[in-house]
Amino acid sequence: MNPNEIHTPVMLERCVELLQPAISRPGAVFVDATLGMGGHSEAILDRFDGLTLIGLDRDTDALRIAGERLARFGDRFRPVHTVYDGIADAVDGEGFSQIDGVLFDLGVSSLQLDMAERGFAYAKDAPLDMRMDQTQGVRAADILATYSEGQLRRIFEVYGEEKLAGRYARAILSAREVAPIETSSQLVSILTDATPGALLSAGHPAKRVFQALRIEVNAELAAVEAAIPAAMSLLNVGGRIVVMSYQSLEDRFVKRAFAAASSSTGPKGLPVELEEFAPRFRLVTKGAELADEAERQRNPRSIPVRTRAAERVREAR
């Protein structure tokens, strides 16, 4: 498997540009919190000679592939098997107390989408697994077999923003009374049959349900909500965080976290901003940046991306 042939890093040049002022310092420490197949990490290690890179991933297949790809960088590359909310322990375990840059490329990776047997893609028939870390946790099939109608409806509504959540939950409960739902094709068929004909042309009926199941299986939102503040607290003054989100739930959380960190915490009406109330971060991007049209045409997986960046401007008090 050649990762260069199956993986095109999203917004690579823009990410490097956003991170460059922070990680071009001698002795800089950078964390790729979502290592994947190492595309972003390879470019960063190539361009910044004095940098040490800690790469995190829960997916053992990704760690293996990235490890082979980045072996030429020796001990400048430090792979760690962990979910990104374990960033503080990972950094400490590699002997550092603070970092100069961190990148999050959230969501499902190209590797996971393209390996049909992982069960992430509704367009490919495979066992309904969806675990990013296949060494532990419950599968999507386990959730479909054990969750109540209310639980299924909740995750479809909250994590998939699916308007037909209740209808789909009821259809799944009816179907599993006949036979276990073990494959993506079974689930797609159930969802398609449960979708009103007038809505079948409005997008694939399985898209949001598969997203919701993936988020539930991997506890993705909980991990993001813990990881982003933890990463920001590790940054040196002048350090930068870049986050790429592919769905609105993640992006809304990142937007709120960045807004809070870049706002004064002082009482309103003070004639002078006191230092202890001054913002800890400044926003580097104006809102969320999108991939340009050329990249969207070249790499369709870049179409939903929303990229935000912030820089630490003072120590916490």
The SS3 assignment for 162 reads: coil
C-beta separation of 80 from 54 below 8 A: yes
CB contact at 8 A, 184 and 125: yes
Binding residues for S-adenosyl-L-methionine: 38-40, 57, 84, 105, 112
Residue type, 83: V
What's the half-sphere exposure (Cβ side, CA atoms, 13 Å) at 182? 3
Instruction: Please check whether residue 41 is in contact with residue 66, taking contact to mean a CB–CB distance below 8 angstroms.
Output: yes
Burial class of residue 295, CB neighbours in 10 A (0-12, 13-18, 19+): buried
CA atoms within 13 A on the CB side of 206: 22
Q: Can you name the residues that pair with 282 across neighbouring β-strands? A: 311
CB 225 within 8 A of CB 260: no
Alpha helix (H) residue ranges in the chain: 3-6, 12-23, 39-47, 60-69, 87-93, 110-114, 140-146, 149-160, 165-178, 184-194, 207-218, 220-234, 248-261, 293-298
Please report, in range form, the residues annotated as the binding site: 38-40, 57, 84, 105, 112
